[in-house]
Structure 1
Amino acid sequence: MIALNLIGIGTGNPDHLTAEAVRAMNEADLILLPRKGSARSDLIDLRRTICAAVLSRPVRVVEFDMPVRDASGNYVQAVQDWHDAIATAWRDQIAAHLPQGGRLALLVWGDPSLYDSTLRIAQRLLAGGMAMTVRVVPGITSIQALTAAHAIPLNPLAGAVTITTARALRDHGWPQGVDTVVVMLDSGCAFEAIAPQGVSIWWGAYLGMAHQALEHGPLAETGPRIAALRAELRQRHGWIMDVYLMRRV
């Protein structure tokens, strides 16, 4: 029997881990760390740093190469195929390193419940007949890190918030019925698709990390500044993870 622990690790700062997350990591028989290519070497380095910072007993840590998503063709089908490939990679690592079962930990950026597919990939193993239990250890989300960094509330007084993706923002515009929108998974600058009048933006990249970057202000003035800074940071680091909140004021 595999006891799979999906551990939210926040945005890469070891201080973001909860006591429950630290305990789950130290109770594991195996921690799997995915390698995502040289362009994202900082990500595996951050996971290594977290393990070094919080492990107080010998725990086997194994790195493996993550499959790469096919960027051509139908997006949804490409993601489904990618998840199938990741599930196969997990299965291979489990067979190699926990053939008799045990406690497996996977470190998930932010929280496993928010725009992360780790739980869906785990369901593939369960559907394939693997004897496994799944436990989620919640973590700080990038949204929490963003609002904390800017010292702002997530929601307006008695108001609602919509959390959406850059793809949805581009395709469908500002969601109906809300004045506050949080945008995730933006590979570009989807805020440029929104009419900027009367909109303020709070943006953050590499939240919680040493090279955290923040910008905020009226979208009309701040949007171009964010676009330029974002391009510079991506070139400097080879990758970028950012999130932003926009509010009609």
Structure 2
Amino acid sequence: MVRVRILGVGMGPQHVTPEVAAALRTADYVLAADKGGDDELLALRREILVRHAESVPMVAVRDPARDRSSGLSTVGYVGAVADWHDARAAEYASVLRERGGTAAFLVWGDPSLYDSTIRIVEKIRELGVPVEFDVLPGISAPQVLAARHRIVLHEVGRPVHVTTGRRLQEAVAAGQDNVVSMLNPPPERLDLTGLDDWTVWWGANLGAAGERLVAGTLGEVWPAVVEARAAAKAEAGWVMDLFLVRRPS
């Protein structure tokens, strides 16, 4: 039996909870995707180990290529991600068969929200690797967004809808008027039609290098968002952004 620990780590060493840090120290090694070149996110995972579990080695696994064509339909996108997950599972399964023991995955944000590590580990089981796993939560991006902007994600007694940038207009058309949008494409590929008078609270690389914040009426501040996103990527070498948009009352 191979043990896998799926650990939410927020956006870096400062977000790692004592519970996660203690679990990390029980691992024999950390499995991490290596995207090649100067992989700043891989380096950030190494920082987490230096701070919280210096004796635990990292095993970097080549990350399979994924179809990121800008013209993919929703069905095409789902299929491309499924193929990518299958390829990742095969790569990780090979390492787990060889090394055994207790492996840990360090998950950005929280494993429950727009992350597929749990699904991939279940695929590894289907490939015949006898895996037992547990999951520990981390600080999620929407939590940090709300804290940075000093807001509550919803009005009193009202819901908040969480979706992806690709499906933002679908949510608005369905009547959602308070929406957190994650996994956003570059601004030029994001459809913001009809949202000019909505309020936006936007953030990039929250809690990490390149952090940027912008808030205001979307139609007025979106050019500032575009500039801030580019600056975050230039500073950190990568960018993860999200935002809350709310219809005016």
Give the structure-2-normalised TM-score: 0.90
- Secondary structure of 1:246's partner? strand
User: Residue 218 in 1 paired to residue 217 in 2?
Assistant: yes
Deviation at 1:18, TM superposition (A): 1.1
- Secondary structure of 2:25's partner? helix
Deviation at 1:37, TM superposition (A): 2.5
Name the residue aligned to 1:185: 183
User: Residue 5 in 1 paired to residue 14 in 2?
Assistant: no
Name the residue aligned to 2:22: 23
**Aligned counterparts of 2:229 and 2:85: Cα–Cα separation in 1:** 28
Unaligned runs of 5+ in 1: none
8 Å CA contact 1:206–1:240 kept in 2: the answer is yes
Deviation at 1:232, TM superposition (A): 3.8
Q: What are the residue-to-residue correspondences of 1:69-80 with 2, within 5 Å?
A: 69-72=66-69, 74-80=76-82
**Aligned counterparts of 1:120 and 1:135: Cα–Cα separation in 2:** 13
Aligned residue type for 1:222: V
8 Å CA contact 1:87–1:122 kept in 2: the answer is yes
Equivalences, count: 242
Name the residue aligned to 1:67: 64
User: Residue 239 in 1 paired to residue 238 in 2?
Assistant: yes
8 Å CA contact 1:162–1:175 kept in 2: the answer is no
Percent of aligned positions that are identical = 39
Q: What are the residue-to-residue correspondences of 1:1-249 with 2, within 5 Å?
A: 1-12=1-12, 14-38=13-37, 41-55=39-53, 58-72=55-69, 74-98=76-100, 102-170=101-169, 172=170, 174-189=172-187, 192-249=191-248
**Aligned counterparts of 2:227 and 2:43: Cα–Cα separation in 1:** 26
**Aligned counterparts of 1:175 and 1:15: Cα–Cα separation in 2:** 38
Q: Deviations over 1:148-197 (max 9, x none)?
A: 11111111111011001111114x25153432100000122266523234
Deviation at 1:117, TM superposition (A): 0.9
**Aligned counterparts of 1:181 and 1:50: Cα–Cα separation in 2:** 31
What is the RMSD of the two structures over their aligned residues, measured on CA atoms? 1.8
**Aligned counterparts of 1:129 and 1:160: Cα–Cα separation in 2:** 41
**Aligned counterparts of 1:133 and 1:97: Cα–Cα separation in 2:** 15
Unaligned runs of 5+ in 2: none
